[in-house]
Structure 1
Amino acid sequence: LDAFCAATICQGDVVVIPDAQDDPRFKHNAWVTGPPHARFYAGVPLWVQGQALGTVCVLAPEPGQLSAQQLQSLRDLALAASALVEARLNTQRFRKLEARVRTASLAGSDWLWETDDQGAIQWVSASMMQHTGLNPSTEVGLKAKDLYTPRGDDTRASWDRFLAARARREPFSHAIADRMTPRGKITVSISGTPVFDHAGRFMGYRGASSNITRQINEEQQSRQADLLLRQSIESFNAGVMIRGPDGRILLSNSSWRRRMGADAVEGMLWADLLRKRIADGLYPDAIGREDAFFEWRMGLVDQPKPQEIRLNKGWVQSKDQRLPDGSIVHFSIGISETKRHAAALAVQQKALEESQSRLTSVLRALPDLWFVIDEEGRYEAAHEEHALLIRPFSELKGKPFGAAVPAELAERESLAIARAHETGLSQRLDYSLELGGGLKHFEARLTPMPDKHTLFLTRDMTERMVAAEKLRVSEELYRSVASSISDGLIVVQLDGRVVAVNQAGCRILGVQASEVVDLNTSDALGYELLTDDLLQALPREQWPVNATILTGQRQDDRVHPLRRRDGVVVWVQISSHLLRVNTQAQPFAVVATFRDITQERHAAQALALSEERWKFALEGAGDGVWDWDASADRIFYSQRWKAMLGHEDHEISDLVSELTDRIHPDDRATVVAALNAYLEHDQGLFQAEFRMRHKLGHDVWILSRGKIVSRDALGHVVRVVGTHSDITPIKRAEQVLREKQSAEAASAAKSEFLSRMSHEIRTPLNAVNGFAQLLKLQLANAPTASQHLSFVDQILHGSQHLMALVNDVLDLQKVEAGILTLKTERLTLLGEVQQCAAMLGPLAAQRGITLQVNVNPGYQVDADRQRLRQILMNTGSNAIKYNQAGGSVWFDTEARADGGMALVIRDTGPGMSPQQLGKLFQPFERLGRETSSIEGSGLGLIITRSLIEAMGGSMEIRSQPGSGTRVSIVMPAAANGVTPEAADTTNIHMHKPHGDLSVANPSREAPCAEQVPLHVLYVEDNRINAMLFEEALRPYAQLSLEIAEDGQMALSMARDKAPDVLVLDAHLPGMSGFDVLRALRTLPLLENTPAFMCSADAMPDDVARATAAGFAGYWTKPIDIQQVTSVLCSLANRGDNSAP
């Protein structure tokens, strides 16, 4: 059988032997030749965990075959057997593993657990009891949130990772949390792996937990120790760095990092950081020898002593110490300040040595004998070659001071040395010695020195003592002289000591002689010299006495304020000079004389102040002063007097002719006569106005005023003083005022003339134009009246032309007088152009002219509506009148370079030459067309341009012969806003273009039977105007007219029958139209009766006055009959008396 199975295992697949006796491999097999005499064999390998462990086979004593189904059943049987064997093996293996895990968990700190898919614990290993004291069975059914509490330290992140992994069904490890046990609170580390079945369904987690309480505590202690270590080294002023055995930086304080210029260094190799800082130039001594310096610095750990290193711009002292574990501690202390102090100390030491050397040289150069005495009172140094040495210094050095002088003197010297060191002040010692056969007098100074040394300086005073005696005699002489003089006198020695002061000096200084004698001028003397402003003390070195001592120069008549002890300030005049025994002798003192000049000073100041006030008053008024000495015939002219005429002070002498020659020739005789009259009669004050010639050639108006201030015994004038005032600005202002008044008077006269002219022309024009309108209305329906209608048209045309001329003249006068009133509003340019084009349509149609409007619909301007339309009508009518028949006129807008918009009016007329363009804006200039059929006044363009400029715009005209004319008008653009609705134009009266002679026939509807005609009272003194008004209203049955010739008649008629409408002329006999209206308003039923002014006054002020007086309308003569009758008929049809 082994042979059969071996063949199957080797084959690795199903082996079928139909008859073993025929198969040479098996016919001699014992199982074939002997029992069980097998002849048929079929076998399949038994595979377990990838290895063939045996076979599943079938034996039969007879030869045979297996069907495919039988063969598959054999394979399935083999697979089932393999599975059973593998399961058995796995069970055995798991039991062994479980035993090992149980044993390991009992020995370790872990316990095992298993949860279901909801996180509830299903099983816990028995080792949990050993590690926590908890019975595992009590855990079953609980979840992690029921057992564990996340910690509040840096381990909290592990618990958050655990929750996130569990939500994603992923493995997790080392989730740290606390839990309570019978042994107290412990810290647990939890790790787990998700479990899935063969179908991939999540079954729960299996994992292990361990008690890490001790580990956590040890880590906290370690972190605390590390924190304390870091805080400790951070508190060091010295730089500290620790690197590990591998050379990496483990720890450093901020002082070390700051010196190294690095922040995050932990984990870096010290060698790398050192090389980088060497390359950065942090170590000046490494420049040029970088590698050698690196090796030296890295080897400092083997140096027993600290090393000084230049670091950046300073110095540090560095020491490296190796620790037992191989780590190295670096210490560095900043010694830059110490190095600087050492350097400064070295400099000071050198300076001290040089100073000592210089001092020794100076002392050797002194004429006095000097010794240096040490702290023990022994001779230490001296001027060894000095002639006053009693013995050679080599014999004295080291011996007690005073060994060469008498004991009594030595004792005095010792006491003086002791006082010098006690007080810190130099001590003076006078003594005498027998030397060279005679008595010598000496003066010594003993000065304390550092280290209790003393400088002893002595000089021979014998000659000076003799001089002092002479000085004493001299002082006695001076005292006797000083006591007899009134000036103060004070004597001061060259060392500043006050020797004497006389009584007069004590009185001036406010002191007693005993209080200042023997004091030094640097001491407090009881008085103080002040600066001239009395605010501060004059420095002592500037006092006259001290100045003489310092410079040897005389000080003459110096004036200073002096404050005495009692606070009184006096002014003194001081002089000082040196005192000598004779002219060849050296000076030995300074004498100063001084006197009190306080009264004189105050008097001089008062005089100066008075003069200053007088000068200030004159100069403040801008006046010049003259002072005439009549006896010498000379005049003093002040600087301001001369400057008034443009001259410097030196350019005018004191001659009288300097004044008289500069007076204007036309004024000179009058001025001289006025002056002589004043001198003869002495009438208070001389005053004259005249012109004087300025240096630059023009005249200056002068107001000269003067007064006689002295006469001689005979009464003759001796002195006259006066002033000159420049009144040129006043004269100019008077001239300007006169010219202004003259211009205003001329303007007023012109306005009055134009107003009268307008009134006088309009009054007859009213009759001409009005009756012409009536004739045209009456002839309109007559079939044979065409010729008569033509005559009437000519009358209307002529009157309209004359009326337009009057209006143009009035408009021009308003512009020139600056009284043009504008009411600016936001207007849409397209609407205004379209309305004017409609009004110009009939005139254009007469000549076959085509009008085209291409204006930007969104363009708005700020302008006066009536004046804008007047501008458009003037320019538009010119473009039509001066065009060729059948031509065109365009109204366009075009953009400007400055972002604005311009209205352009172009025509196809004959154009103009440059010469004609130059005359275009001259009044009444019509460029040679005066005799043509084209009517005009020559004022329209002037008025148009003036109106445009008055509204802030501009106008430009370009033209060439044969190319037409182009007029560009720029008006101020309106700010963005809503376009206003077109205003009502019912009451805006535009000049009709010449040629429009239409007269509309108003409705003549008959009144209803019950309608009462409108009663109109017309007050007019001109019979022709009254007749015209009557004829104009006659055709209208709804209107009833009464005419009064003056105000009294009107009042009488109104009392008899109250009118419904009042029409009044402005100029009436006896009472004006305004007076008549006021009187009529007092009558019953006339308080609110509509009233209209019908007048030839056409000025804006006239219309405004009428409106203010209560008139509802203003009809300017010549009247527009259509307008008048339309308004009255409208009132009649309304059937009330209310104003329209």
Structure 2
Amino acid sequence: MPRKIHIHTLPSLAGGMAVALRKTQQRTRNLAHLETQRLLRSQEESNSRLQQINATLQESEEKLAVTLNSIGDAVIATDAEGRVRILNPIAEQLTGWTMAEAAGHTIDEVFRIINQETRQPAVAPVMDTLAHGTVQGLANHTVLIARDGGECSIADSCAPIRDRDGRVTGAVLVFRNVTEEYAAQRSLRDSTALIQTILNTVVDGIITLQARGGIIETVNPATERMFGYAAAELIGQPFSSLIPELDRDQASGSLEYFRASDEARANGLGREVLGLRKGGQRFPLEIAVSEMWLGDQRYFTGILRDISTRKQAEAALLKAGALQNAIFNSANFSSIATDARGVIQIFNVGAERMLGYLAAEVMNKITPADISDPKEVIARAEALSQELGTPIAPGFDALVFKASRGIEDIYELTYIRKDGSRFPAVVSVTALRDPQEAIIGYLLIGTDNTARKRIEEERTLLDQALQDKNAELMSAKIAAEKANLAKSEFLSSMSHELRSPLNAILGFAQLMDSETPPPTAPQKMSIDQILHAGWYLLELINEILDLAVIESGKLSFSEEPVSLADIMLDCQAMIEPQGARRGLKMTFPRFDNPAFVRADRIRLKQVLINILSNAIKYNRPEGTVIVDCVTTTPGRIRINVRDTGHGLPPDKVRQLFQPFNRLGQEQGGEEGTGIGLVMSKLLVELMGGSIGVESMVGVGSRFWCELNSVAAPQFAEDKADVGALVKVPIRLDTPPRTLLYVEDNPANLSLVEQLIARRPDLRLLSAGNGGLGIELARERQPDVILMDINLPGISGIQALKVLREDPATAHIPVVAISANAMLGDIKKGLDAGFFRYLTKPINVTEFMATMDVALERATTTSRHT
């Protein structure tokens, strides 16, 4: 129910409310006052704390300012946009900006830097620090450009400024001027490089040693060269290994000896000692030692100088001084020295003896002209005036004029002795000069020329006698050359005269041997004897003539690269049948790689055939012959021929290469002349080789020849030779080919006719002289021409020239068939243009093979014309 308020209670209720209201207001005022008091106290406390903070901040700023002002490095602080906020005095000094001027400017405006080497602008590290919040640094060789253009090298670093939340609010750049530091470092590097260069280039050896024990620490290159050791071999070794005497006596022999006094302490005291090189050679050197301290370690530095050259020079100087003194005081030379005017100042013992004056009689009194023939002095002045184009007065000037102009002058004149006698002298004049090249005098050195004049007179007589003798020798030489020429002509004639009948003997014997029907057994025996004797006679003729040619020095060679493989095949084909008849087993080398020697092909084959023939002739029955080729030394190839014969004792081996010495085989069953090996030795040596033999009795012998090896030749085209014959099959269904044989000897012509008669594919024409042969060649156009050399009228060589010059016959192959079988004759014929050169007596097999090659050439030529 609602409360009922009685009317009579209202006044007292209102009064109570008023009292309560007043109390409330009072409490409110009290509370407000208390709050005000609290706030005032709080404000006072805040003001006090703020004042304290301001004071602390001010103190901190003052301390920061003091720090920035006192720090030795330049400092620049920026805000987060890279604008300058703080610039300390060092930074002001280096950049040229004041704090007031720089504040608010970007760092790039105040802090301008470039690369020292390229002079290109460099980027300040501030922006990288602001962007990444990392510490940054500048590269070396950075230059700061001040506001006024000044430059200095700097080193710097940049770090970020962060707030309490870690946000980057700016950057601080710290840098310093390192110009002097860099200069000092560069100076240090230069000094170090200079010292190292000096150590490396100085001619003296420099060694650093530990004071205790004398162990080597470092050496320079000169020390290495001086002692012959590498640095690695010396470091760590005792110094006494190089200077042994320094370790003999610790009191006076070691490096401590150089501590001569407390003041000097071994500085620069030099001493001569003996060094010991790596090879054990001792040599004089001079050593100077200095003491040094590195930290608390004591070291010695030794300077070593090789004085071998100086010692030699001193000895040479002493010797030269003694020599000069001996020369100057020699009684055999007159040494006269004058002043610049020519007055004698020195007159040595030789001059006194030679001229008869005492030195006191001429010194400071006369000139050398006064003791010379006056007429000769006048003549010399006139001759020099004409030669040099300037007037020269007679007298002393004429004697020294050339020397005064720096021209070497040695002349002859007559000296007059004190007693008036005269003698010829040779005088050498030298101008004496001071350090400024001014002439201060002259030196005249004279020798008595009397003996030389007498010798010259005698020499003139001897020269005349020698000339007379030379004339006699020249006459004798001419006579000898004529005799030698006559000998050569005789040899050539003898060769021709002997071979011509042999050609008929051997040629017809070969025809009879190959007749159809074949000869009877007795006939065959007789024919074999004829052929054997004929070929042996031809061999004797060849050997005797070749030996005579070699001894006369007329043998000509055609040295070229010769294939050993080809030579061996030729020799094998020629010699194996002979070995087979005796039941010998023969082995020849195989060549996997080309092997060539420098030799004359024909002569090399001759040597090998001779050696192989001996190996067969003097072998035992059923024996062996082994041929091999080996490289002995670089550039040399040796051909060995081993046999299983009876062998030879040493005394007979020494006689092997003596002419006509068959070592007692004259009564044996083997034929021979005893000159084959002599020929072989001469031929091999003429080809630049050597030949020898090793033999053992009961075992056999080994003959060898050694020649120079050469590279395989490069041929432009293959050229066939008689050793590589082309075999052309005979065709009976073709017209016969025509051969023209120009020959004046009926027997030779008959032989060739019978040979050609066996070839149905060939037809023979003949001419008895060169002129008729040329006419037939032009008229009948033969396929091949056979030409003798010695023809009536014109020779075969002259006929060949006519044929070659005529277009109608120039293409026809011409083969020489001649008894002129000397090597020079063969070479002359081939050089003249013969296609081939066959020698008489004719070898039928070789003849037929040569015809085949010539006919093939004729066929090839006709196809191309």
Range moving further from structure 2, 740-749 or 940-949: 740-749
Shift of the alpha carbon at 1:909? 1.2
Relative to structure 1, the CA distance from residue 939 to residue 981 in structure 2 (aligned partners, 3 Å threshold; closer, same or farther) is: farther
Equivalent residues of 2:636, 2:707 under 8 A apart: no
Structure-1 residue corresponding to 2:539: 804
Q: How many residues matched?
A: 558
Structure 1 counterpart of 2:61, which letter? G
Residue 745 of structure 2 is aligned to residue 1019 of structure 1: no
Structure with the higher helix share, 1 or 2: 2
Pick aligned residue for 1:940 from 662, 667, 676? 676
Pick aligned residue for 2:732 from 1006, 1031, 1036? 1006
Relative to structure 1, the CA distance from residue 559 to residue 960 in structure 2 (aligned partners, 3 Å threshold; closer, same or farther) is: same
Shift of the alpha carbon at 1:1030? 0.8
Structure 2 counterpart of 1:815, which letter? I
Structure-2 residue corresponding to 1:951: 687
Structure-1 residue corresponding to 2:822: 1099
Q: What CA distance in whole angstroms lies between the structure 2 residues aligned with 1:815 and 1:1068?
A: 28
Once the two structures are superposed, residues 775-815 of structure 1 have per-residue CA deviations (whole angstroms, 9 ceiling, x without a partner) of 23324x74x84554444333322222222222222322232
Pick aligned residue for 2:582 from 839, 847, 851? 847
Relative to structure 1, the CA distance from residue 1133 to residue 1005 in structure 2 (aligned partners, 3 Å threshold; closer, same or farther) is: farther
Once the two structures are superposed, residues 115-168 of structure 1 have per-residue CA deviations (whole angstroms, 9 ceiling, x without a partner) of xxxxxx9979999699989999x99xxxx98898564599x9999887898999
Structure 2 counterpart of 1:891, which letter? V
Where in structure 2 are the equivalents of 1:49-128 lying within 5 Å? 104=57, 108=61
Look up the SS of the partner of 2:514 in the other structure.
Answer: helix
Q: What CA distance in whole angstroms lies between the structure 1 residues aligned with 2:345 and 2:123?
A: 89
Q: What CA distance in whole angstroms lies between the structure 2 residues aligned with 1:804 and 1:1017?
A: 30
Where in structure 2 are the equivalents of 1:367-378 lying within 5 Å? none
Equivalent residues of 1:1060, 1:1137 under 8 A apart: no
Where in structure 2 are the equivalents of 1:593-992 lying within 5 Å? 727-779=464-516, 782=518, 785=520, 788-827=523-562, 829=564, 832-833=567-568, 835-853=570-588, 860-893=596-629, 896=632, 902-974=638-710, 977=711, 986-987=720-721
Look up the SS of the partner of 2:159 in the other structure.
Answer: strand
Q: What CA distance in whole angstroms lies between the structure 2 residues aligned with 1:791 and 1:966?
A: 36
Shift of the alpha carbon at 1:1023? 1.5
Q: What CA distance in whole angstroms lies between the structure 2 residues aligned with 1:1067 and 1:818?
A: 25
Q: What CA distance in whole angstroms lies between the structure 1 residues aligned with 2:599 and 2:550?
A: 16
Residue 768 of structure 2 is aligned to residue 1032 of structure 1: no
Aligned residues: CA RMSD: 6.2
Structure 2 counterpart of 1:1117, which letter? K
Residue 856 of structure 2 is aligned to residue 1121 of structure 1: no
Range moving further from structure 2, 1065-1074 or 848-857: 848-857
Shift of the alpha carbon at 1:947? 1.4
Shift of the alpha carbon at 1:1097? 1.0
Equivalent residues of 1:192, 1:206 under 8 A apart: no
Equivalent residues of 2:84, 2:102 under 8 A apart: no
Look up the SS of the partner of 1:956 in the other structure.
Answer: strand
Q: What CA distance in whole angstroms lies between the structure 2 residues aligned with 1:126 and 1:823?
A: 100
Q: What CA distance in whole angstroms lies between the structure 1 residues aligned with 2:369 and 2:674?
A: 92
Relative to structure 1, the CA distance from residue 825 to residue 103 in structure 2 (aligned partners, 3 Å threshold; closer, same or farther) is: farther
Look up the SS of the partner of 1:902 in the other structure.
Answer: strand
Pick aligned residue for 2:159 from 191, 195, 202? 191
Look up the SS of the partner of 2:740 in the other structure.
Answer: strand
Structure-1 residue corresponding to 2:834: 1111
Q: What CA distance in whole angstroms lies between the structure 1 residues aligned with 2:708 and 2:592?
A: 16
Relative to structure 1, the CA distance from residue 734 to residue 855 in structure 2 (aligned partners, 3 Å threshold; closer, same or farther) is: farther
Once the two structures are superposed, residues 78-109 of structure 1 have per-residue CA deviations (whole angstroms, 9 ceiling, x without a partner) of xxxxxxxxxxxxxxxxxx99x97998499628
Equivalent residues of 2:640, 2:704 under 8 A apart: yes
Q: What CA distance in whole angstroms lies between the structure 2 residues aligned with 1:982 and 1:875?
A: 34
Q: What CA distance in whole angstroms lies between the structure 1 residues aligned with 2:138 and 2:716?
A: 88
Relative to structure 1, the CA distance from residue 1085 to residue 615 in structure 2 (aligned partners, 3 Å threshold; closer, same or farther) is: farther
Shift of the alpha carbon at 1:883? 1.5
Structure 2 counterpart of 1:940, which letter? G
Structure 2 counterpart of 1:869, which letter? K
Shift of the alpha carbon at 1:746? 3.1
Relative to structure 1, the CA distance from residue 205 to residue 772 in structure 2 (aligned partners, 3 Å threshold; closer, same or farther) is: farther
Look up the SS of the partner of 1:1118 in the other structure.
Answer: coil
Q: What CA distance in whole angstroms lies between the structure 2 residues aligned with 1:645 and 1:129?
A: 113
Structure 1 counterpart of 2:749, which letter? A
Where in structure 2 are the equivalents of 1:504-543 lying within 5 Å? 536=341, 538=343
Relative to structure 1, the CA distance from residue 959 to residue 735 in structure 2 (aligned partners, 3 Å threshold; closer, same or farther) is: farther
Once the two structures are superposed, residues 260-279 of structure 1 have per-residue CA deviations (whole angstroms, 9 ceiling, x without a partner) of xxxxxxxxxxxxxxxxxxx9
Equivalent residues of 2:742, 2:769 under 8 A apart: yes
Relative to structure 1, the CA distance from residue 169 to residue 886 in structure 2 (aligned partners, 3 Å threshold; closer, same or farther) is: farther
Q: What CA distance in whole angstroms lies between the structure 2 residues aligned with 1:856 and 1:1129?
A: 29
Once the two structures are superposed, residues 453-486 of structure 1 have per-residue CA deviations (whole angstroms, 9 ceiling, x without a partner) of xxxxxxxxxxxxxxxxxxxxxxxxxxxxxxxxxx
Structure 1 counterpart of 2:160, which letter? G
Q: What CA distance in whole angstroms lies between the structure 1 residues aligned with 2:703 and 2:470?
A: 44
Once the two structures are superposed, residues 188-223 of structure 1 have per-residue CA deviations (whole angstroms, 9 ceiling, x without a partner) of 985338999xxxxxxx964575889xx98xx87xx9
Equivalent residues of 2:79, 2:169 under 8 A apart: no
Q: What CA distance in whole angstroms lies between the structure 1 residues aligned with 2:162 and 2:573?
A: 97
Relative to structure 1, the CA distance from residue 209 to residue 1132 in structure 2 (aligned partners, 3 Å threshold; closer, same or farther) is: closer
Percent identity, please: 28
Q: What CA distance in whole angstroms lies between the structure 2 residues aligned with 1:1073 and 1:1102?
A: 12
Equivalent residues of 1:755, 1:1097 under 8 A apart: yes
Name stretches of at least 5 consecutive residues in structure 1 with no aligned partner: 1-95, 112-120, 181-186, 197-203, 231-278, 289-312, 314-530, 543-552, 564-569, 572-597, 618-637, 647-701, 704-723, 991-998
Relative to structure 1, the CA distance from residue 921 to residue 989 in structure 2 (aligned partners, 3 Å threshold; closer, same or farther) is: farther
Look up the SS of the partner of 1:108 in the other structure.
Answer: helix
Relative to structure 1, the CA distance from residue 129 to residue 913 in structure 2 (aligned partners, 3 Å threshold; closer, same or farther) is: closer
Look up the SS of the partner of 1:1043 in the other structure.
Answer: strand
Where in structure 2 are the equivalents of 1:11-410 lying within 5 Å? 104=57, 108=61, 149=111, 151=113, 191-192=159-160, 206=167
Relative to structure 1, the CA distance from residue 982 to residue 802 in structure 2 (aligned partners, 3 Å threshold; closer, same or farther) is: farther
Q: What CA distance in whole angstroms lies between the structure 2 residues aligned with 1:955 and 1:162?
A: 94
Q: What CA distance in whole angstroms lies between the structure 2 residues aligned with 1:158 and 1:102?
A: 42
Equivalent residues of 1:1020, 1:1068 under 8 A apart: yes
Look up the SS of the partner of 1:886 in the other structure.
Answer: coil
Relative to structure 1, the CA distance from residue 823 to residue 133 in structure 2 (aligned partners, 3 Å threshold; closer, same or farther) is: same
Relative to structure 1, the CA distance from residue 283 to residue 1021 in structure 2 (aligned partners, 3 Å threshold; closer, same or farther) is: closer
Structure 2 counterpart of 1:740, which letter? K
Greater C-alpha radius of gyration: 1
Shift of the alpha carbon at 1:946? 0.9
Look up the SS of the partner of 1:930 in the other structure.
Answer: helix
Look up the SS of the partner of 1:876 in the other structure.
Answer: helix
Q: What CA distance in whole angstroms lies between the structure 1 residues aligned with 2:622 and 2:609?
A: 20
Normalised to the residue count of structure 1, the TM-score between the two structures is 0.40
